[in-house]
Structure formats: C-alpha cells, structure tokens
C-alpha cells in the first residue's frame, strides 16, 4: 500500500493499436491513489468525486476485460468445433 498519495506510475509503452496498456501494478497503484482522496466532501472541497469516478472506471475496465476473456474462450471453442466438423 502506498504510504503517501504521490503517483509513481509511468507510461510503459504503446500497443500495436496505439493505446497504452497499464500493468497490474499500475492498475493497483491507480486504485490506491484514487482511494487516498476518499469520498467527496463539498465542505472541504476535496476531489473525492473525481476519485470515485476513477474507481468506477477501473472497475468497469476490469469487468470489460473479464467479458473479453470469456468471449475469446467462446470463440476458441467455436473455432475448434468448426475444425472438427470440417474433418
């Protein structure tokens, strides 16, 4: 766990599609940093609302990645069945 709320993540490189992939360590650090700011507090003007949205986006990314892996597995099964039927 991060002792302070200082970002340490670096952009590590570009993917073939031009996007940037975050490592698991960077994803963990992003979540920890967002959680440092806690819930939104209109009395003190903290950036908790932004932090909450970052957490939501990280969770959405995780869910989409799991869905993509499930779709890839289904495609692999379908491809294998198709090959068997062609034999």
* 32 touches 1 (CB < 8 A): yes
Q: Return mean pLDDT, the chain.
A: 76
Q: What DSSP line would sit under 20-72, residue for residue? A: BPPPHHHHHHHHHHHHHT-S--TTTT-SHHHHHHHHHHHHHHHHHHHHHHHHH
The tokens 């995780």 sit on which residue?
Answer: 62
Farthest CA pair distance, the chain: 70
Q: How confident is the model at residue 27 (pLDDT cuts 50, 70, 90)?
A: confident
Stronger pLDDT, 2 or 51, i.e. the higher one: 51
Highest-confidence segment of 17-31, 46-60, 63-77 = 63-77
Q: Return the domain boundaries, the chain.
A: 24-86
* 5 touches 33 (CB < 8 A): yes
pLDDT at residue 34 is higher than 50: yes
Stronger pLDDT, 45 or 57, i.e. the higher one: 57
Instruction: Supply the pLDDT for residue 41.
Output: 58
* 38 touches 48 (CB < 8 A): yes
pLDDT at residue 71 is higher than 90: yes
């Amino acid at each position: 766990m991060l002792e302070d709320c200082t970002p340490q993540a670096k952009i590590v490189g570009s993917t073939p599609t031009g996007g940037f992939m975050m490592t698991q360590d960077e994803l963990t650090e992003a979540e920890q940093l967002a959680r440092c700011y806690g819930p939104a507090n209109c009395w003190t003007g903290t950036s908790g609302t932004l932090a909450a949205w970052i957490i939501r986006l990280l969770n959405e990314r995780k869910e989409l990645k799991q869905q993509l892996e499930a779709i890839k597995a289904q495609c692999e099964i379908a491809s294998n069945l198709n090959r068997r039927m062609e034999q």
